[in-house]
Structure 1
């Protein structure tokens, strides 16, 4: 499967929103209640995505010019890593994380953190991230993980 990883642009906002919401409803819904999924979904409208583009370094993976995954870097924190369920398990998420880590290293980040969903904990562990602690936002459990990027 050939895919391209690039920086996201404003025109990607609708497609990024679609990927995130699809992943939330199909993948994360296995580990979180419908109420939590609905609440998280509110943060990923196209308007919200356009705003995030001004705050973070957002990347997308595309296949035939179609956005199928996204991830972003907010200083030393990985955020919003989502892969369209139809493409999960094919290495796209891993390649996005490679791009994010490379960007972080180029910016001098020594310790990369990620607030992981229950759903993605195994994925991040497979990339060398270690669990630091659990955080709860009402009933929503987030696993704080980190990875040293020191040479």
Structure 2
């Protein structure tokens, strides 16, 4: 699918922190509420806080998808691990997630990475499998009060 001319993938800038955090939190609310228990949803939001986003930007590459001046997607690669791939619910199903994953993998490959890893959320498993990721193991994080955040660990050879 061709990217519309008013859409670009670019490197994250420090001035993007608020818009990236808002995008991620809106997407978490829309896609994870009802799939994960409330404490797990809160854990996701805290992990993807402005502070967490800034820290990842200092350790690796964060990319954003911008359309008509609005951030509609994001993803990061730190060493050989991909983090925080989110596309606004209103922009999903148009190839933006696939585009940003391709760009993140390309950047990792250019740095000599031969295999990338990522944590796969419950709603995103089919998406990552379609991109060639292999589920390696089930995992979870105890988020307290009897709730847990279930996910899978996956890898892909580049």
Shorter-chain TM-score tier: over 0.9
Q: 2:46 aligns with which of 37, 42, 45?
A: 42
Per-residue deviation, residues 33-86 of structure 1 (Å, max 9, x unmatched): 122101221222323322321122100000012100000001111111011111
List runs of 5+ in structure 1 lacking aligned partners: none
Q: State how 1:100-139 maps to structure 2 within 5 Å.
A: 100-138=104-142, 139=148
Q: 2:153 aligns with which of 141, 144, 149?
A: 144
Q: TM-score, normalised by structure 1?
A: 0.94
- Alignment-derived partner of residue 70 in structure 1: 74
Instruction: Output the aligned Cα RMSD.
Output: 1.2
Q: Distance in 1 between matches of 2:35 and 2:18?
A: 25
Cα distance, 1:29 vs structure 2: 1.8
Q: Distance in 1 between matches of 2:115 and 2:99?
A: 19
Q: Say whether 1:32 aligns with 2:36.
A: yes
Per-residue deviation, residues 77-116 of structure 1 (Å, max 9, x unmatched): 1111011111111110000001001101101111111111
Cα distance, 1:142 vs structure 2: 1.6
- Alignment-derived partner of residue 145 in structure 2: none
Q: Say whether 1:94 aligns with 2:102.
A: no
Runs of 4 or more, structure 1, over 3 Å off, are: none
Conserved? CA contact 2:12–2:62, under 8 Å: yes
Q: Matched residue of 2:33: which SS?
A: helix
Q: TM-score, normalised by structure 2?
A: 0.90
Q: How many residues align?
A: 149
Cα distance, 1:8 vs structure 2: 0.2
Deviates more, 1:134-143 or 1:123-132: 134-143
